[in-house]
Amino acid sequence: MMIHDGFNQWRKLETLCDEDRKKLLNMTDEEMKDSFYQELAFGTAGLRGKIGPGTNRMNEQVIARATRGLAGVIEKRGQKAMDCGVAIAWDVRERSERFMEVAASMLASCGIQVHIFSGIRPTPMLSFAVRELRTQAGIVVTASHNPKEYNGYKVYWKEGSQIRDDIADEISREIAKFDYSVWPEKSFDEYKDEGFIHIIDEALEEKYYALTLAKAVEEDIKKDISIVYTPLNGTGNLPVRRVFKARGFDNIHLVEEQTEPDSSFKSVGYPNPEDFKAFEKALALGKEVDADILIATDPDCDRVALVAKDASGEFIPFTGNQTGALLLEYILSRREVKGDLPANGAVVKSIVTGDIGRRICDHFGVAMFDALTGFKNICALANEWDDTGAYEFLFGYEESIGYVYGDHVRDKDAVVTSMMVAEMAAYYLSIDKRLPEVLGEIFKAYGYQGEKLLSVVKEGQEGQALIQGIMADLRENPISSVESLKVEKVVDYAEGVEGIGTSNVLEYRLDDGSCFFVRPSGTEPKIKLYIYTNDKDEEKAKEKIEWIESAVLRRFDLK
């Protein structure tokens, strides 16, 4: 009954675009059910969903209502917060610019100043803009690496990092005060003419680039390194190429079909560089031009993946954990040699990221902290240290190919990371080493880390129920052993962990030092299994991965 009520209410909305009205009137019963069985939940990742009409979809009405909720939270903080305003960026996805216009207009209709870029920009530049302009909040319209059918809406707070639970909950309470008919009083162009909506000055972008380039560690490197780069039809094309050029990396080969913005992502399909399939065209070009490394950034250019050629000429893809370990070892070792590694330096990783980074940090005397999944939590510690001065934030990363180096951005940043990956690869080539060889040396020095990430997608209402059932059953009947390995400890983050926080994550620690995590995704309809194994024998470590994977899949009938 509620589904049909929602459908009938939406048919009466005058603000529906022609495309959504047509989709609404031609919905099957199944499409209606999936579009209206729930509201898109506003969480610490904001909103994300498939584009289309309905309460469970991304559309202008959902954007307007969410932004009215955000405006209510800002209004409560007084006129100063309203004058500081909100910065907004958007990416290449379908309707992203239109969603930006609706959000900007809604804020302006509430008397809140808005700052927008002159066109598509990478997500990290929005984080920088919030910090530089000292706005009260920021918005990025993006679905990051999701399939083309998706779009999203991420909210940032005044520190330049994504909102955490307290602010998200406050916004959610404000959103609930409004229905889907809430709408700006005037048009985007009218508010722009009235001075409520401002174009961000190019000087801000120039400062972002200057601070990014200032993070360089080594200049005595092999600048003619051959690099294949693909922005996967996203926002990374101009920013990443600019920093490459400024650093003197001129031997850049672009995947032409994936260079220009394209909301259909027809050249790549699923624009997630974490999936090696996204490198298909980059790999072909790499072989053609005899590249040393391949770099891909996701559509909003906050995540970056790496493939590197080994001594035999084979191209080896690196996981997020491996790239993180390489960057940590490179940055900390070179800065130690140069004598500018701070005594109170600190690195932050997510709880589901492997522990090899901790061993690297221990070696260099750098503190390592764990945070809940997501850069909102990783950067929360950097925000805290701004106030306390307890540590100097050096580097943050998570296994899902997100990294940030330095403190001018408080989110993962594929622009500075791409620059550092190129520098790192060029440095090692200068001393006749390739990245796969360097990774082997890291494993030899710190111990081999076996790893695997398994994601099981469960769409719709039934899928959500299944995922919730899996987590409930794990809590009621925890796994006690895997083959010959005994479970020594189970950590339920839903109960809260001191110094880290609360999240719907289960961690299993085994008696040989291996571990695995089970976590429902906060942004996608999937449940994730993260597996990490330790052993002096690489093959034995891989065998243990198979044991754990088989045990969990068998337990929940997911094969």
Contacts of 436 (CB under 8 A, 6+ apart): 308, 309, 310, 311, 316
Q: How far apart are CA 144 and CA 356, in angstroms?
A: 27
Q: How far apart are CA 439 and CA 448, in angstroms?
A: 10
The answer to which of 91-100, 302-311, 447-456 has the lowest mean pLDDT is 447-456
Q: Which one is predicted more confidently, 146 or 111? A: 111
Give percent above pLDDT 90 in the chain.
87
Q: Residues 505, 373: contact at Cβ < 8 Å? A: yes
Q: Residues 461, 486: contact at Cβ < 8 Å? A: no
What is the helix (H) or strand (E) element at residue 325, kind and residue range? helix 320-338
Q: How far apart are CA 113 and CA 197, in angstroms?
A: 6
How confident is the model at residue 1, as a pLDDT? 44
Q: Is the pLDDT of residue 242 over 60?
A: yes
| Residue range 142-169: mean pLDDT, rounded | 95
How confident is the model at residue 461, as a pLDDT? 77
What is the helix (H) or strand (E) element at residue 432, kind and residue range? none
To the nearest whole number, what is the mean pLDDT of the chain? 95
How confident is the model at residue 500, as a pLDDT? 94
Q: Residues 457, 524: contact at Cβ < 8 Å? A: yes
What is the helix (H) or strand (E) element at residue 403, kind and residue range? strand 402-405
Q: Report how far apart, in Å, the C-alpha atoms of 270 and of each of 150, 258, 354 are.
A: 11, 12, 26
State the DSSP code for 277: G
How confident is the model at residue 523, as a pLDDT? 67
For 339-354, how does the pLDDT look when each residue is reduced to its tens digit (9 = 90+)?
Answer: 999 999 999 999 999 9
Q: How far apart are CA 401 and CA 322, in angstroms?
A: 9
For 330-384, how does the pLDDT look when each residue is reduced to its tens digit (9 = 90+)?
Answer: 999 999 999 999 999 999 999 999 999 999 999 999 999 999 999 999 999 999 9
Q: CB burial class (10 A; 0-12, 13-18, 19+) of residue 165?
A: middle
How confident is the model at residue 3, as a pLDDT? 84
Model confidence at 5, in pLDDT bands (50, 70, 90)?
Answer: confident
Q: Is the pLDDT of residue 146 over 70?
A: yes
Q: Terminus-to-terminus CA distance in the chain, angstroms? A: 35
Tally of CB atoms within 10 A around 224: 13
Give percent above pLDDT 70 in the chain.
99
The answer to which of 244-248, 314-318, 389-393, 500-504 has the lowest mean pLDDT is 500-504
Q: Which domains does the chain have, with CATH numbers?
A: 2-200 (3.40.120.10), 209-446 (3.40.120.10), 449-555 (3.30.310.50)
How confident is the model at residue 557, as a pLDDT? 64
The answer to which of 124-128, 437-441, 465-469 has the lowest mean pLDDT is 465-469
Residues marked active site are found at: 144
Specify the length of the chain in residues: 559
Give the pairing of strands 515-520 and 506-510.
antiparallel
Q: How far apart are CA 104 and CA 169, in angstroms?
A: 22
This prediction has a pTM of 0.94
Q: Which 3 state secondary structure label does DSSP give 485?
A: strand
How confident is the model at residue 559, as a pLDDT? 41
